[in-house]
Amino acid sequence: MNSPTTMDPAPVLGLLPPEPAPVAGCETCLRLARKRQAARAAGNGSGVSDCNVLIRAHPHGPRREDPSSPA
Ligand SMILES: [Zn+2]
């Protein structure tokens, strides 16, 4: 028998990307941030990442704070 029995390493989640911060003054972001906090407090991990995705995807037009990294 010459079958390679390489064991695939288990998928490592590793370092999660930093959570997006809500944009100051954006009501939607603030609401999502609050929802994310509540989800985390409830141990609802998927709810937390849902909010992260939504915050990240929320458009805000040109940013003034960080001109060096066009998102
Ligand atoms: Zn927003």
How many angstroms is it from 42 CA to the middle of ligand 1? 23
How many angstroms is it from 46 CA to the middle of ligand 1? 20
| Top-confidence residue, 25 or 11 | 25
Asked whether the whole model's pTM tops 0.75, one would answer no
Output the CA–CA distances (angstroms, integers) from residue 71 to 7, 36, 54, 60, 64, in the order listed: 38, 22, 15, 10, 12
Containing 55, the helix (H) or strand (E) segment is helix 45-57
Count how many domains the chain has.
1
How many angstroms is it from 20 CA to the middle of ligand 1? 11
Per-residue pLDDT of 14-70, as tens digits, reads 666 678 999 989 999 999 999 999 999 999 999 999 999 999 999 887 756 555 555
Residue 1 inside a domain? The answer is no
Residue 51 inside a domain? The answer is yes
How many angstroms is it from 11 CA to the middle of ligand 1? 32
Full residue range of the structural domain in which residue 41 is found: 27-57
What is the distance between the alpha carbons of residues 16 and 8, in angstroms, rounded to a whole number?
21
- Identify the residue whose tokens are 């929802």: 35
Predicted local distance difference test score (pLDDT) of residue 15: 65
Predicted local distance difference test score (pLDDT) of residue 60: 86
